[in-house]
Amino acid sequence: MPKPVVLIAEELSPATIDALGPDFEIRHVDGTDRPALLSALAEANAVLVRSATKIDAEAIAAAPVLKVVARAGVGLDNVDIKTATTAGVMVVNAPTSNIISAAELTVGHILALARHIPAAHASLAGGAWKRSAYTGTELYEKTVGIIGLGRIGALIAARVQAFGTKVVAYDPYVTSARAQQLGVHLLTLDELLEQSDFITIHMPKTPETTGMIGIEQMQRMKRSAYLVNVARGGLIDEEALYKALTTGEIAGAGLDVFTSEPPVEGGSARMLLDLPNVIVTPHLGASTDEAQEKAGVSVANSVRLALGGDLVPDAVNVAGGIIDPYVRPGIPLVEKLGQIFAALAHSPLTSLDVEVHGELNAYDVSVLKLAALKGVFTNIVSETVSYVNAPLLAEQRGVEVRLLVDEDSPEYRNVITLRGALSDGSQLSVSGTLTGTKQVEKLVGINDYAIELPIEQHHIVMLYTDRPGIVAVYGQKFGEAGINIAGMQIARENAGGQALSVLTVDSPVDDELLDEVRTAISADLFRQIEITES
């Protein structure tokens, strides 16, 4: 059987090719050579591009067996997503590949503005020695305002806090609890503009956000304030910015993105390049070796998943829909919850409700139902389980599956619960969430017991009558066997009632020791859970 053909249309790192593995026929073409590209697409099952290759309607029409277009980067301006969707072609990108690079470049612009580094360098390189002309300002105890507290905004907050700054933010979709986790104070946009010494914008470009920083907003800023845009050209009104910079309305600006790239002669972007109080870079947000390699490896993995029939978390047009970036981190969490559920179930599953509570209520979370089914069946059927065959496995076993969504989540921003009925008439539920800036996957509930424990590879779950000395019993037995307990949570309904103990251990526990501990504590439920990584 011939191998699927993967077409590489632009230069990618060796690590990208390695990530594809040996299961594909790799072909190369110059994506900017249009006739050569169209010819090569005729037999391609997947094509990998950066930004120079246009995959438009003509290219898609020339690719009758194409299944995946993979953009090794973030932007998709060179891919016709609508036509691809109509043709049944999946489009994937690497949405998180450049976030650290973009955050670091933003901080670089802030520092360069504060200390006039580019101008001082040019002056000295030109033979002048003008120390007094380039007196700058410290970041210490200054206020940095971040417009858009998403992944990049959060990374910037952490970095500028190290300089002793006060960080404030405007983001209508971020809760005060989330901001508090980041050490950031939420303000209205007007309040942020009025209070900040440095302002950096990190919003998506939409009709609503285009030109959101205009002359009215700049007039609210301090005359000593600096404005930075490393996100999207057009978020700042360039004509208004030129006026503010030339009239002394604000002190300066750092720009990596423009409304036209490269800036065209006579355009609003081009006028900004000649100003002495502007620092510019040619859209370098993702231009690091690390970001480029991450992007290539990420889309290579996506291609492998897509051609293998699995769901691809970084796909932007799965089944004609979209997996929102806010939903994506929940996919591996729900898979793990499915594995935990299956390990705890003591009889066959007859029905399963996938309950999504909290802010995710506002998004399409249908993919989480697939993730739950994949997790449930991963370790209990002999065949390989994918997002494609998991619903079929449920149907074959007579398992009814529902997706239930609401906004009720009083303790966490989001909680996902798998609640199932078993064939013996009992019910079982497991709940999980993502916490903190690193989106740590946590188990937060089993049946009616509330816990909070990071999900790791090896867990032991015990249910027993609460009484003194039980923890010492199993702690001693595991310790004598060389099993290290890395984490533990205990929950109970009331003193002397049933207690649930969930342990994280560093290595698997053999069956003989498990039976010994079970007997020693007279456990009503005793399960070892091994999480299989997808």
Given the residues 232, 304, 419, 527, select the one marked as catalytic: 232
Nearest to 530 by CA among 500, 510, 513: 510
Residue 283 annotated as catalytic? yes
Which residues have CB under 8 Å from 35's CB, separation 6+?
Answer: none
Nearest to 12 by CA among 47, 61, 58, 56: 47
Nearest to 423 by CA among 363, 350, 366: 350
Residue 458 annotated as catalytic? no
Contact between residue 47 and residue 66 where contact means Cβ atoms under 8 Å apart: yes
Write phi, then psi, for 391 (nearest 5 degrees): -60, -35
Tokens for 495, please give them: 């003193």
CA angle, 92 then 159 then 195, to 5°: 105
Given the residues 159, 202, 283, 527, select the one marked as catalytic: 283
* Residue bearing tokens 């089944």: 319
- The distance in angstroms from the start CA to the end CA of the chain is 26
Residue 492 annotated as catalytic? no
Tokens for 31, please give them: 């994506």
Tokens for 233, please give them: 């050209």
Write phi, then psi, for 338 (nearest 5 degrees): -60, -40
Measured between alpha carbons, how far is 317 from 82 in angstroms, rounded to an integer? Answer: 9
- Bridge partners of 406, per DSSP, are 357
Nearest to 200 by CA among 238, 227, 220, 174: 227
Ramachandran area for residue 29 (φ above 0: left; ψ -120 to 50: alpha; else beta): beta
Using N-to-C axis directions, what is the helix angle for 366-378 and 330-344, rounded to 10°?
40
Nearest to 16 by CA among 115, 94, 103: 94
What letter does residue 320 receive in the DSSP assignment? G
Measured between alpha carbons, how far is 164 from 153 in angstroms, rounded to an integer? Answer: 17
Given the residues 25, 138, 261, 400, select the one marked as catalytic: 261
Task: For residue 207, give Cα distances in angstroms to 111, 132, 227, 290.
Answer: 31, 44, 21, 32
Nearest to 214 by CA among 234, 241, 187, 188: 241
Nearest to 459 by CA among 359, 527, 389: 527
Give the active site residues: 232, 261, 283
